Amino acid sequence: MNGSDIKKAAIQKAKQVAHSATNAANGTNGKKRRKQELKPIVTTEQEAASGTASPMSYQKSTASTRDVSPSGSDSSSLSGDEQTENTADEEDSEDYCKGGYHPVQVGEEYNNGKYTVVRKLGWGHFSTVWLSRDNETGKHVALKVVRSAAHYTETALDEIKLLNKVVQANIDHPGRKHVVSLLDSFNHKGPHGMHVCMVFEVLGENLLGLIKRWNHRGIPMPLVKQITKQV
């Protein structure tokens, strides 16, 4: 190979390296663009259709910082134990055991046929929550099915006592509309034990859901003002 051939080979090699580097850079940029274009999941039926949010649409979103997600994923009626963030999309399947979660199925009926499960709203360490239809009123409710272990049952019964106090409180109090209402409660026997079930009105997203909805860039000021006023 003479000097001219060596020079041509070197130039060709340099072009190949440059071309590979360009492709690698374009591939990385493509991934970044796709990531930026991802939109947060809307976790309420009301907002799913419109894709927009307003202060009024979240009038009660701080009333319950409990489990709702549309997974069938965050949070329409959850207890204080469930305010910590769950990074997994679904609860651990190993927790479907004695003392654990009840294997709820869409279409199942609860409380002697009064409620029919429509879809999953979310889950937490304490329970799973399901959008259900009240067959007596035709309205949708949030059905919370608590894990069956004794300490979960005890906590749930304490929660029911407190929520009943709220239901019996002065309905004309200015803050009453910002507090979640317990509509019903009952026990359900399943393969993993006896589960306390609570029925709530269906609410909007919790604070964590709102933060995620705006990509952790901060909740719009009108919503911040409304939430602060309600608190």
Please check whether residues 11 and 98 belong to one and the same domain.
no
Span of 56-60, 89-93, 192-196 with lowest mean pLDDT: 56-60
Give me the numbers of helices (H) and strands (E) for the chain, helices first please: 5, 6
What is the pLDDT, as a whole number, of residue 120? Answer: 95
Please check whether residues 108 and 5 belong to one and the same domain.
no
Domain span at residue 6? 1-38
What is the pLDDT, as a whole number, of residue 31? Answer: 38
The CATH number linked to 223 is 3.30.200.20
Please check whether residues 18 and 103 belong to one and the same domain.
no
Please check whether residues 30 and 86 belong to one and the same domain.
no
Please check whether residues 209 and 182 belong to one and the same domain.
yes
Residue 71 predicted with pLDDT over 70 = no
Residue 53 predicted with pLDDT over 70 = no
What is the pLDDT, as a whole number, of residue 173? Answer: 84
Please check whether residues 140 and 26 belong to one and the same domain.
no
Of residues 183 and 14, which shows the higher confidence score? 183
In whole numbers, what is the pLDDT of the chain averaged over residues?
A: 74
Please check whether residues 61 and 28 belong to one and the same domain.
no
Please check whether residues 12 and 73 belong to one and the same domain.
no
Residue 212 assigned to a binding site: no
Distance (Å, whole) CA 76 – CA 64: 7
Q: How many domains does the chain have?
A: 2
Helix, strand, coil % in the chain, rounded to nearest 5: 40, 20, 40
- Cα angle 181-128-64, degrees, rounded to a multiple of 5: 30
Please check whether residues 11 and 116 belong to one and the same domain.
no
What is the pLDDT, as a whole number, of residue 174? Answer: 81
Please check whether residues 144 and 216 belong to one and the same domain.
yes
Please check whether residues 10 and 92 belong to one and the same domain.
no
